[in-house]
Structure formats: structure tokens, C-alpha cells
Amino acid sequence: MKQIKTRREIDELCESIVQKYEGENYIEKPVDIAGLALQFFKLKVFYVRFPTEKQDRLGCLTDGKSIYKMIRNGRIGNYSFPKNTILLDISLKGDSEKAKRRFTLAHELYHYIDSVINGNSSYGFNSQMHGDEQYNKAELCEMMSLDEWAADRGAAALLMPRQLVCATSKLMFGSREIPIFGNNILMNDDKQRIIEMADYLGVSFTSLLIRMKELKLFKYHSMDQYISLTMGDMEQAVVF
């Protein structure tokens, strides 16, 4: 029976893997996710061009049996690859796609890690859904499966280990608490620091914000406090 690990188990496993690869000073620099895949796990990674269908296919871990459609020399052809090869869409190669490229690679790498632990794994595509498209049941099940949830969780844990994020946050904010208002509102200076943190770690702002919430790095305040701080006492405003 396939073992689906909890969030805490995935976090602990991935942090230990990063520490084993990077060494004791792993909290001092961003995770070398490409090195982890290529050097530590000895996997092969290729950039290919997937045909655009209902969703943008960003990457996959090959199963050694399936035939994959891709575009070469302007034509769609069928190709096979050895098992446990990571394929990334060539659209991820640009500098502007750094965060998405690293997350997709980490997602596929976690699929491999899961396959080693459990003896099997899901070999579906990591796809980006389009809001204006309709999907059949099989497509939705593939994109929203427990395997895909675990791979997303594993990708976040590989790229943003607990101690690395906490150490980087301390460098940016010192020992002071980081206020957040409601569930998502930050003061402008604090938001800019987190944007800089995300760029340094090679992840998206949204991914880092979610991770920092999980690690309880914010002090929550009411939206009333935010309004008072930024707009003053509204009860004193003149009504026309």
C-alpha cells in the first residue's frame, strides 16, 4: 500500500536530504536544486518542447515505458526516455522563469524521492491549468491527486527548508516580529523585504509567503489595526 506522508514528515525528510547534500552550512545559501537532482541523485534533466493543449505541461518524471509527444524542428513527434529522466518544458529556461523552473524541477525530483521510498510513484505531467478551459474527470484527477499534492509539498520543502527560511528571515527582519493584517496584508517595507527574500531563495513571493505562514513567522493583527495605521481614525473623517 502506498504511503502518503504528512506535511511534517515531508518537511523533515526534505530538510534532511538538503542538509546531507549541502552540508552543515546549508542554511547560509539558497538550495542548489539542480545540483541535488544531477549530482546527489544522479538523475538526467532535459529541456524539451511539449505541445500546448488544455494546460501547459511544465515537466514530468518519465516511467521508462510511456511515449511522450513533443515538438522538434517544428513537428510533433513521439519519443521515449529512460526511466526517471526529468523533462522540463523549454519555456522554463528563461531568466524570468527562474522561480517556476526551480519549483517544477523540485516537484519532479520529489516524485523520484517518493518512488524510491514507496517503490512506486505517479508519472503524470506537472501541468499549469488555464481558468477558461474545461477539464474531464481524468484530467482533473491527475492534476489534483494526492501524489501531485505531495510533490508540491515536497518541492516547497526542498526549496525552502525550515531552518534556511528562518535564518534568512532573521537576516532580513532581525528579531522583531513581522506583522500581517487579516490573512494577507503586509506593510509595504515588510512586503518588499519578503520579495527580496523570495528572489534570493529562487522561489515565488506567493510560495514564500505561504511557507512563512506555515513556519509561524508572522504576528497576526486585525484589519481594523491596518486601517487605523494607514488611514488614520476614519470616525473623524468628514462625510459629504
pLDDT given for residue 239 in this prediction: 47
**What value does the mean pLDDT take over residues 159-187?**
95
Rounded-to-integer distance, Cα 72 and Cα 216, Å: 47
For residue 223, what pLDDT is reported?
93
In this prediction, residue 146 carries a pLDDT of 80
pLDDT surpassing 60 at residue 71: yes
CA 92 to chain centre: 14
Mean pLDDT of 181-205: 96
Can you tell me the mean pLDDT for 7-23? 95
> For the residues 122-139, what does the mean pLDDT come to?
50
Query: What DSSP string runs through 63-131?
Result: -SS--EEEEETTEEEEE---TTEEEEEGGGGSGGGHHHHHHHHHHHHHHHHHHHHHS-----EEEE--T
Q: Are 57 and 142 in contact (CB under 8 A)?
A: no
pLDDT at 131: 46
Confidence band for 237, pLDDT divided at 50, 70 and 90 = very low
pLDDT at 32 over 50: yes
Q: What is the rounded CA–CA span in Å between residue 198 and residue 164?
A: 12
Residue of 133 and 63 predicted with greater confidence: 63
Over 70: is that where the pLDDT of 60 sits?
yes
Q: What's the confidence (pLDDT) of residue 231?
A: 83
What residues does 89 pair with on adjacent strands? 48
The two beta strands, 218-221 and 125-128, are: unpaired
Mean pLDDT of 44-56: 81
Distance CA 79, CA 122 (A): 19
Tell me: pLDDT of 158 over 80.
yes
More confident residue, 228 or 155: 155
